[in-house]
Structure 1
Amino acid sequence: MRLRVVAVGKPRLAYARLGVEEYAHRIQKYAPLEVHFVKEARELLPRAEGYRKVVLDERGKLFTTEGLLEELRRFEGERVAFLVGGAEGYPEGVRERADLLLSLSPLTLQHELALLILMEQLYRLFTLRAGHPYHRP
């Protein structure tokens, strides 16, 4: 699986920026990963062209970590883009073009925090798939 994460705005909060960098580095050991930051939400879909699209949305489907791993196995061998909107949400058409609407929590999360949580969960999924002891249910 080739991964691309496309997020609106570079993280300004130091903990989020450092965390995203750390998990991006860790994920690279398991799968090719690109992280792209765009200025506006209308740039999300063009950056995800040719990829399966997983759109983060509080109205999306909630999974356990193991359940999300099983769901993403549908995309094995494909290119998958995770789209993270900004404070203003998504423009028309983004949710409709999603292959999966994913909720990280029923709570509304600040977008930098959502990005950091996504990165940690991607790392967790790859370590779980590889049989490493990082994940402890």
Structure 2
Amino acid sequence: MRLRILAAGKPALSYAAAGIAEYLKRLKRYGGCELVELKAGDSESVSKALLARSEGDLRIALDERGEALTTRQWSERLEALEMRGEIKRVSFLIGAADGHTEGLRQEADAVWQLSRLTLQHELALVVLLEQLYRVASFRRGEPYHR
């Protein structure tokens, strides 16, 4: 099962760009994670683009109104999806500065939160990548996840 992140806009914050690059590099050891940066815009246009680009994928929207999961639960959920076999790719959706539309949240297969706090979308991307790396190391029995 391949992992892909669809995110609105290119990182403008240098420290966020550095964190993104670092975790994408680390994830290569575990099969990698594709990052697709979509054109930034308002919630409506970005949500429409996210849905179009993730057509056919299992969609997980990241939103502060989503389900709160621990890292271990993320690992269990992703493993369960992988075990189903029919899912070829999971797309994590990070929206525009104003977040996702209600329509996107309804069409997503799951809505998870990274935090109860509203995160700037570049920081959300860094946090997501770090968690995916943590889950990958956890699943291999490596010590990083602690």
Amino acid in structure 2 at the alignment position of 1:35: L
Aligned partners of 2:102, 2:81: CA distance in 1, in Å? 25
Preserved contact between residue 26 and residue 133 of structure 2 (Cα < 8 Å) = yes
Question: TM (normalized to structure 1)?
Answer: 0.93
**What is the CA distance between 1:101 and its match in structure 2?**
0.4
Aligned residues: 136
Find the counterpart in structure 2 of residue 100 from structure 1: 110
Aligned partners of 1:95, 1:53: CA distance in 2, in Å? 10
Amino acid in structure 2 at the alignment position of 1:93: G
Aligned partners of 1:28, 1:127: CA distance in 2, in Å? 12
Find the counterpart in structure 2 of residue 113 from structure 1: 123
Find the counterpart in structure 1 of residue 31 from structure 2: 31
Amino acid in structure 2 at the alignment position of 1:62: A
Aligned partners of 1:68, 1:17: CA distance in 2, in Å? 24
Find the counterpart in structure 2 of residue 82 from structure 1: 92
SS at match of 1:94: helix
**What is the CA distance between 1:119 and its match in structure 2?**
0.4
Aligned partners of 1:50, 1:25: CA distance in 2, in Å? 26
Preserved contact between residue 9 and residue 37 of structure 1 (Cα < 8 Å) = yes
The reply on whether 1:17 has 2:12 as its aligned counterpart is no
Deviating beyond 4 angstroms after TM superposition, the runs of 4 or more aligned structure 1 residues are none
**What is the CA distance between 1:104 and its match in structure 2?**
0.7
Preserved contact between residue 63 and residue 100 of structure 2 (Cα < 8 Å) = no
Aligned partners of 1:37, 1:105: CA distance in 2, in Å? 22
Higher share of residues assigned helix: 2
Question: TM (normalized to structure 2)?
Answer: 0.88
Identity across aligned pairs (percent)? 51
Find the counterpart in structure 2 of residue 53 from structure 1: 59
**What is the CA distance between 1:92 and its match in structure 2?**
4.7
**What is the CA distance between 1:5 and its match in structure 2?**
0.3
Preserved contact between residue 24 and residue 32 of structure 2 (Cα < 8 Å) = no
The reply on whether 1:70 has 2:76 as its aligned counterpart is yes
Amino acid in structure 1 at the alignment position of 2:76: E
Structure 1: segments with no counterpart, 5+ residues: none
Give the root-mean-square deviation of aligned CA atoms.
Answer: 1.2
Amino acid in structure 1 at the alignment position of 2:53: R
Bigger shift: 87-96 or 123-132?
87-96
